[in-house]
Amino acid sequence: MKRLLYIITLLTITFSATAQINELGVFVGGGNYIGDVGPTTYIAPKDLAVGVLYKWNRTPRHSWRASFTYGKVSSNDADADASGRKQRGYSFENTVKELSLGLEFSFFEFNLHEEGFKWTPYIYSGLSYAWYDELYRDDDNTGEKYDGGSGLAIPMTVGVKAHIVRDFIIGFEVGTRYTFTDNLDGSNPEGTEYQALRFGNLESNDWYVFTGFTLTYTFGDKPCYCRD
């Protein structure tokens, strides 16, 4: 954890040395998971997710973005619509710690060199690296940790943001993450000793979603986005 915070701080200092508008702020919202346990609703924030983010606004429409998010994901077959899952009665809880780097694209020009209210929808994607617990299904049909896991994920985020008052930007976004693991929920643990405990669609990886609000503070020299 300390190493991740050090990396984010180093990136912030490096980018801040350039003559661009910088943004530093927080994310607060909720997380949910999509997989082999519980309901299959794609956007259903139910567990707390918090994070920090940094943006380097390269142009009025393009921003390099770095973030670190900590969130809980959980699900219970009792909340599922499918009768088969309700009867099965599995549940799990997990935590995800995610470092993400990528590019944010604004649909409208979002020129922070200009004063006054402005807003735009945006999309974000890049590459994430996530840390989580490896689980298996125990005798109580809940997920039990047996190891620590990590791996890549692909973020796909849509949102809207507004420059509300001087130096502050507020946003709302929904970000789905496609992971390269099928064991956030304990459905596909590795190792021959867990083979009999696997269940669900073993050919489909898990997803998790972070939905919430961002608040960033802008600082640094204001660039002139002028064409030569």
Element of type H or E holding 48: strand 47-57
For residues 186 and 140, the answer to whether their CB atoms sit within 8 Å is no
In a domain, 227, yes or no: no
- Provide the residue type at 102 as one letter: G
> How far is the C-alpha of 19 from the C-alpha of 223, rounded, in Å?
6
pLDDT tens digits for range 100-140 = 999 999 999 998 877 889 999 999 999 999 999 999 999 99
- Whole-prediction pTM value? 0.87
195: phi then psi, degrees, rounded to nearest 5: -60, -40
In a domain, 224, yes or no: no
In a domain, 225, yes or no: no
CA proximity to 65, closest of 221, 214, 227: 214
Share of the chain above pLDDT 90, in %: 80
Mean pLDDT of the chain: 90
Split into its structural domains, the chain has a count of 1
In a domain, 76, yes or no: yes
Both tokens of 10, joined, read 């180093």
In a domain, 228, yes or no: no
Distant-in-sequence, close-in-space partners of 87: CB < 8 Å, separation ≥ 6: none
193-204 in b/e form (b: 16+ CB < 10 A) is ebeebbebeeee
Burial category of 85 from C-beta neighbours within 10 Å (exposed 0-12, middle 13-18, buried 19 and up): buried
Question: What is the domain-level CATH number for residue 161?
Answer: 2.40.160.20
> How far is the C-alpha of 135 from the C-alpha of 132, rounded, in Å?
9
8-state DSSP, 221? P
- When pLDDT is averaged across residues 68-82 and rounded to a whole number, the result is 96
CA proximity to 156, closest of 126, 179, 180: 126
pLDDT tens digits for range 11-58 = 544 444 444 589 999 999 999 999 999 999 999 999 999 999 999 999
pLDDT tens digits for range 140-174 = 999 999 999 999 999 999 999 999 888 999 999 99
For residues 124 and 55, the answer to whether their CB atoms sit within 8 Å is no
In a domain, 78, yes or no: yes
Show the domain range for 214. Answer: 2-219
